Structure formats: C-alpha cells, structure tokens
Amino acid sequence: MGDGDVAQAVELIRALRDHLREMTAQLTRIERQDLTDAKGRTHAMRPEAAALLRDIREAQALIDRLQRRYLSGDELTQQRPAAG
C-alpha cells in the first residue's frame, strides 16, 4: 500500500463524512417534520427517511472499512455522527 493509496483513502473518507453530515441533517429535518405533522399519532417511517437511514449506515460502514484498511483504524470513532 503506497502513500497515494493512503492519500486517496483520506480524501474519500473526508468526502464521505461531508456527505454523511448532509444526510444526517436531512434525516433530522424529515424526522422533525414528521413529529410536527403527526399531531400525536404514530406514523411509520417515511420511505425517504428509511432510505436516508440505510445510506447513512452504508456510508459509515464504508468509512470504517477504509479506515481499518488504509489508516489502521486510527480515526475509527472520530467524527462519527449519530444517526437517527
């Protein structure tokens, strides 16, 4: 594994984390909207919220794998946003 591989992994992780923050913020907005619209009633998770949650979990798994492989897990728990 060369320095170029590590540098590429770092950039990909950075981009994934940025996207992860955006998706998490979007999920939060959707969940707040659901709470506002619910008027005390229980609703199933909206399809877009469910899709975002799946994408968030997948992005985090990719970040974790890249860190384990290219960064020896050094940053495994850093900047991990809460999902849902």
Tally of helices (H runs) and strands (E runs) in the chain: 2, 0
What is the full per-residue pLDDT of the chain (84 aa) written as tens digits?
788 899 999 999 999 999 999 999 999 998 888 766 656 665 667 889 999 999 999 999 999 999 999 998 655 444 455 444
How many CB atoms lie under 10 A from the CB of residue 30? 17
In angstroms, the first-to-last Cα distance of the chain is 35
| Alpha helix ranges (H) inside 39-71 | 47-70
List the domain boundaries for the chain: 3-70
Residue 39: the pLDDT is 62
For residue 43, the one-letter residue type is: H
Alpha-carbon gap, residue 17 to 66, rounded angstroms: 12
Residue 32: the pLDDT is 84
Residue 23: the pLDDT is 97
